[in-house]
C-alpha cells in the first residue's frame, strides 16, 4: 500500500464550482445509476430520491450540488459534460418531465426528490448523500450512501477506499519515506512519481495525459482572462481577471514592464472565476483551490522557463537537465538544437517537460495531504484545500527551478505551515468570497515559499510531516461552522445582497 494517488485522479478535468460539492456528487449519481444497470435493476426503478446531509445540505444549492446529482443520474460525466448542461439541471427542472436514468431509462422526477438535511451529519464524512431507487409500488429497489471526500473523490458506504487498494513500485506513506527512497535510488521526487504512474500506463500515455491536464489548465486561464461580466449567484460578484489582463497588456504596450507577480494574481483569479461560473476546470487538488497550481505553473512557463534557474540549463543534484532530459520524457535524438529555425519548438518542448515535472512533484506532495490529513474543506477547513494546493505549487515550482528533494520538501512545508487554521466560510455558500482572492494570495505565497527554500540548503526545523499532522489535528479541533457550512466567519458577517 502507498499514500500515492495518481496524477490523473488528483488532477481531474471537470466542472465548477466545487470538487466535493459538484464533481463528487455527479460521480456518485452516475455510479448509482450505473450500478442499477449493471445489476439488472434499472427497469424496476420508477423514481429516485436523494438526501444531501451535512455540508452538502448546508451549501449545496450555492455549490450546484442538486444540479450535479441530477446530471450524474442522467449518466453525464464531469470530464466530458458540457458545463452548461449541469448548471441548471435541477434548478430549472420542468414540472412533470421524465428523467432518463443512466441516459436510457425514463423515470418520474421532481425537484422535491432532492432533500436537504444540513443538520444531520453521517459518521463517514461531512459530505454525505443517500440515493434511493424506488419501484412503482414505493418499495426500495436499491439504496446507497456516498461520501464526497474531497477533490472529486467519492466513497460508497461499505466499500473500501478505491485508491488505497493499489500497489505502486515506489510506495511511501510520509515525506520522510519519500525522501529516503529517492536518496536510496538517486532520483527526484518527480521521477518517483513517474515510475509509480508507469505502473498504471505506458510512459507515452503518462506524458500525453500530463500534457492534457496542462492544456486544460492553460485553457481555463485563457478563458478566465478573456471573460467579462458578473458571476452567477445573489452576490453579483464582478469578474476582475479580464480587466487586470487589459491593464497589464496596456502597460506592456507602453513600454512599462509590469511585475510578473501581477500576472500571477491574474492567472489565479481567472481560473477561480471560471470555476465560480461553473466552467471547465481542473481539480488541483480541489475546485475551490483550483487556481493556485495552474497560476504558479503559468508564472513559471511565461516568466521563468527561459531564464535563470528555470531556463532548462539548470542541473539537479541527480544530473537531470531541467528541460532536455527530464524524467524519462526524452526529446527525440534528431530534435533540433537551439539556434536553428526550430529553436522556439525546442523551447516549447522543454517547457512541456518542465510542466510534467511540476505536476508530478505536486502529485507526490498532494498525495501526502490526502492520505495523512485531508483535502476536503468540509473536513479540514480551507487549510485542507488552499493550504494543500499552495504546498503542491510551491514544491512544483521549486522542482522546475532546479531545487533538491529537500528544498522541495522545505518549500511545501513553508507553504502549508502558513495556512494552518484557515477556515472555509464561503459567503452565501458560493465559491466566490473569499475563495477567489484567496487563491491569488496563496499563489503568491507558493512563489515566496519556493524562493525561500531555494535560498537554503533544504535543512529546516519543522518537517513537512509535522505540518501535515498538525493540519489534520487542527481540522479535527476546528468548529464545524468553519468547515464549509456557511454558519460562521465571513459567511455570517457579510451581507449577501
27-37: pLDDT as tens digits: 999 999 999 99
Going by pLDDT thresholds of 50, 70 and 90, the confidence category of residue 161 is low
pLDDT at residue 135, rounded to an integer: 97
pLDDT at 190 over 60: yes
- 140 and 197 part of one domain: no
- 196 and 304 part of one domain: yes
pLDDT at residue 255, rounded to an integer: 77
- Report the mean per-residue pLDDT for the chain: 91
In a domain, residue 104? The reply is yes
- What's the pLDDT tens digit per position in 305-345? 986 444 333 433 323 433 333 444 444 334 444 455 577 88
In a domain, residue 263? The reply is yes
Say if residues 369 and 285 touch (Cβ distance below 8 Å).
Answer: yes
pTM for the full predicted model: 0.89
Q: Structural domain tally of the chain?
A: 2
DSSP letter, residue 128 = E
Distance, in Å, from the CA atom of 373 to the CA atom of 379, rounded to the nearest integer, reads: 9
Instruction: Tell me phi and psi for residue 415, to 5 degrees.
Output: -60, -45
- 256 and 117 part of one domain: no
- What's the pLDDT tens digit per position in 217-233? 999 999 999 999 999 99
Going by pLDDT thresholds of 50, 70 and 90, the confidence category of residue 164 is very low
Instruction: Tell me phi and psi for residue 27, to 5 degrees.
Output: -65, -35
- 441 and 390 part of one domain: yes
Q: Residue range 403-426: average pLDDT?
A: 97
pLDDT at 182 over 60: yes
- 208 and 277 part of one domain: yes
DSSP letter, residue 482 = G
pLDDT at 194 over 50: yes
Distance between the two ends of the chain, CA-based, in angstroms? 49
- What's the pLDDT tens digit per position in 432-482? 999 999 999 999 999 999 999 999 999 999 999 999 999 999 999 999 999
Say if residues 103 and 37 touch (Cβ distance below 8 Å).
Answer: no
pLDDT at 166 over 60: yes
Cell 461553473 appears where?
A: 278
pLDDT at 369 over 90: yes
Sequential DSSP letters for 227-296: --SB-SSTT-PBP-HHHHHHHHHHHHHTT----HHHHHHHHHHHHHHHHHTT-EEE-SS-STTTTHHHHH
Tell me the CA distances in angstroms from 355 to 249, 306, 324, 397, 453, one per residue in order.
25, 13, 13, 9, 20
Q: How many residues are given for the chain?
A: 497
pLDDT at residue 496, rounded to an integer: 63
pLDDT at 23 over 60: yes
In a domain, residue 7? The reply is no
* Top-confidence residue, 132 or 333: 132
CB atoms within 10 A of CB 302: 14
In a domain, residue 98? The reply is yes
- 187 and 106 part of one domain: no
- 143 and 281 part of one domain: no
Q: Which three cell numbers stand for residue 327?
A: 524524467
Share of the chain above pLDDT 70, in %: 91
- 285 and 209 part of one domain: yes
In a domain, residue 51? The reply is yes
pLDDT at 380 over 50: yes
In a domain, residue 28? The reply is yes
* Residue-range definition of the domain harbouring residue 390: 175-477
pLDDT at residue 348, rounded to an integer: 87
Distance, in Å, from the CA atom of 244 to the CA atom of 250, rounded to the nearest integer, reads: 10
Q: Residue range 267-295: average pLDDT?
A: 97
Distance, in Å, from the CA atom of 57 to the CA atom of 49, rounded to the nearest integer, reads: 14
- Tell how strand 13-15 and strand 47-53 pair up: unpaired
In a domain, residue 85? The reply is yes
Which CATH number goes with the domain that contains 57?
Answer: 3.30.1330.90
Q: Which three cell numbers stand for residue 121?
A: 451529519
- 104 and 209 part of one domain: no
- 302 and 428 part of one domain: yes
Tell me the CA distances in angstroms from 246 to 222, 251, 263, 294, 438, one per residue in order.
13, 9, 11, 20, 22
**Spatial CA neighbour of 55 closest among 403, 496, 486:** 486
- What own/partner pairs with CB < 8 Å and gap ≥ 24 does 134-137 have? 134/45, 134/46, 134/47, 134/48, 134/49, 135/44, 135/45, 135/46, 136/46
Q: Which three cell numbers stand for residue 4?
A: 500515492
Q: Which three cell numbers stand for residue 234?
A: 445573489
Say if residues 306 and 266 touch (Cβ distance below 8 Å).
Answer: no
Share of the chain above pLDDT 90, in %: 84
- 286 and 344 part of one domain: yes
pLDDT at residue 162, rounded to an integer: 56
In a domain, residue 6? The reply is no
- 127 and 253 part of one domain: no
pLDDT at 21 over 90: yes
Q: Residue range 186-207: average pLDDT?
A: 97
Amino acid at each position: 500500500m502507498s499514500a500515492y494517488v495518481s496524477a490523473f485522479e488528483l488532477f481531474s478535468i471537470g466542472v465548477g464550482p466545487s470538487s466535493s460539492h459538484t464533481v463528487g456528487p455527479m460521480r456518485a449519481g452516475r455510479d448509482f445509476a450505473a450500478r442499477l444497470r449493471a445489476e439488472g435493476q434499472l427497469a424496476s426503478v420508477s423514481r429516485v430520491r436523494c438526501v444531501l446531509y451535512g455540508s452538502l445540505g448546508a451549501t449545496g444549492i450555492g455549490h450546484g450540488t442538486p444540479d450535479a446529482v441530477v446530471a450524474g443520474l442522467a449518466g453525464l460525466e464531469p470530464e466530458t459534460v458540457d458545463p452548461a448542461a449541469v448548471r441548471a439541471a435541477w434548478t430549472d427542472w420542468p414540472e412533470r418531465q421524465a428523467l432518463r436514468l443512466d441516459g436510457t431509462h425514463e423515470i418520474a422526477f421532481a425537484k422535491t426528490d432532492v432533500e436537504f438535511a444540513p443538520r444531520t451529519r453521517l459518521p463517514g464524512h461531512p459530505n454525505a448523500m443517500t440515493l434511493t431507487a424506488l419501484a412503482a409500488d414505493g418499495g426500495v429497489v436499491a439504496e446507497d450512501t456516498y461520501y464526497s471526500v474531497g477533490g472529486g473523490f467519492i466513497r460508497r458506504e461499505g466499500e473500501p477506499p478505491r485508491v488505497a487498494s493499489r500497489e505502486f513500485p515506489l510506495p511511501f506513506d510520509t515525506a520522510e519515506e519519500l525522501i529516503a527512497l529517492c536518496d536510496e535510488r538517486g532520483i527526484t521526487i518527480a521521477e518517483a512519481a513517474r515510475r509509480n504512474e508507469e505502473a498504471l500506463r505506458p510512459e507515452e500515455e503518462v506524458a500525453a495525459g500530463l500534457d492534457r491536464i496542462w492544456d486544460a489548465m492553460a485553457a481555463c486561464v485563457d478563458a478566465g482572462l478573456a471573460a467579462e461580466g458578473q458571476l452567477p449567484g445573489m452576490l453579483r460578484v464582478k469578474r476582475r481577471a479580464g480587466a487586470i489582463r487589459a491593464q497589464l497588456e496596456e502597460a506592456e504596450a507602453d513600454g512599462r514592464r509590469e511585475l510578473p507577480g501581477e500576472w500571477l494574481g491574474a492567472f489565479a483569479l481567472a481560473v477561480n472565476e471560471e470555476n465560480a461560473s461553473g466552467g471547465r476546470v481542473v481539480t488541483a487538488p480541489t475546485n475551490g483551490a483550483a487556481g493556485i497550481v495552474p497560476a504558479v505553473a503559468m508564472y513559471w512557463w511565461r516568466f521563468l522557463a527561459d531564464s535563470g534557474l528555470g531556463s532548462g540549463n539548470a542541473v539537479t543534484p541527480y544530473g537531470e537537465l531541467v528541460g532536455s532530459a527530464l524524467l524519462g520524457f526524452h526529446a527525440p535524438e534528431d530534435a533540433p538544437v537551439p539556434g536553428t529555425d526550430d529553436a522556439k519548438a525546442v523551447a516549447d518542448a522543454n517547457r512541456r517537460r518542465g510542466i510534467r515535472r511540476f505536476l508530478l512533484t505536486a502529485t507526490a506532495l498532494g498525495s501526502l495531504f490526502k492520505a495523512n490529513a485531508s483535502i476536503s474543506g468540509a473536513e479540514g477547513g480551507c487549510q485542507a484545500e488552499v493550504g494543500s494546493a499552495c504546498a503542491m505549487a510551491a514544491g512544483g515550482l521549486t522542482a522546475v527551478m532546479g531545487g533538491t528533494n529537500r528544498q522541495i520538501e522545505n518549500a511545501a512545508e513553508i507553504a502549508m505551515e502558513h495556512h494552518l487554521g484557515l477556515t472555509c466560510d464561503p459567503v452565501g455558500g458560493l465559491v466566490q468570497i473569499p475563495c477567489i482572492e484567496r487563491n491569488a494570495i496563496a499563489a503568491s505565497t507558493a512563489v515566496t515559499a519556493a524562493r525561500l527554500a531555494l535560498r537554503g540548503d533544504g535543512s529546516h526545523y519543522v518537517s513537512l510531516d509535522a505540518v501535515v499532522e498538525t493540519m489534520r489535528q487542527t481540522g479535527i479541533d476546528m468548529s464545524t461552522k468553519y468547515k464549509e457550512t456557511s454558519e460562521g466567519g465571513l459567511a455570517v458577517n457579510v451581507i449577501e445582497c
